[in-house]
A = this chain, B = another copy of it.
Amino acid sequence: MKSHRKELWFEVPQRRAYLNITPQVEAALRESGIKEGLCLVNAMHISASVFINDDERGLHGDFEKWLERLAPEKPHSQYRHNETGEDNADAHLKRSIMGRETVVAVTAGRLDFGPWEQIFYAEFDGLRKKRVLVKIIGD
């Protein structure tokens, strides 16, 4: 069994954003030389997500509005977590909906995707350097 590990670094210049990281994950897979296996992609920070959905800007706008409705950022004082001096409790909740990680099948050396699947890094508390972990195992 082979394994390969790669960190992807991001510094998003605003609080929230959706980045298509599929090309970076594909590059990590090529480096690994793995043909059959599983590829884990996870946010290493607890106020960010990795998920698979459509690369369509309108949909990302819908995500932004919807997540603000389900887990509003403000007022910051509505969350006990923010009493610790943080202001990012909403980011922990938004990330809980969108998920920490995805696991993708690797088949014949490729990410084994349906027609529109793309991997996104969702930043909910940006303006600083944060990481995504890619771990691939297989043969």
Task: Report A99-131 residues with CB < 8 Å from chain B CB.
Answer: 99-105, 107, 112-117, 131
The oligomer's copy count stands at 3
Q: Which residue of B lies closest to A93 (CB)?
A: B66
B3 touches A36 (CB 8 A): yes
Set B56, B112, B131: member contacting A133, Cβ < 8 A = B112
Q: For the complex, is A59 an interface residue (Cβ under 8 Å from B)?
A: yes
Set B3, B58, B82, B107: member contacting A83, Cβ < 8 A = B58
Set B36, B63, B103: member contacting A101, Cβ < 8 A = B103
Residues on B with beta carbons closer than 8 Å to the beta carbon of A102: 100-101
A92 touches B138 (CB 8 A): no
Residues on B with beta carbons closer than 8 Å to the beta carbon of A87: none
Q: For the complex, is A28 an interface residue (Cβ under 8 Å from B)?
A: no
Residues on B with beta carbons closer than 8 Å to the beta carbon of A105: 5, 40, 42, 133, 135
Looking at the assembled complex, report how far the CB atom of A138 sits from the nearest CB atom of chain B, in whole angstroms. Answer: 6
Mark each residue of chain A from 69 to 102: 1 if its CB lies under 8 Å from any CB of chain B, else 0: 0110000000111111000010011011111111
Set B40, B56, B70: member contacting A81, Cβ < 8 A = B56
A62 touches B3 (CB 8 A): no
A131 touches B114 (CB 8 A): yes
Residues on B with beta carbons closer than 8 Å to the beta carbon of A51: 96, 100
A96 touches B42 (CB 8 A): no
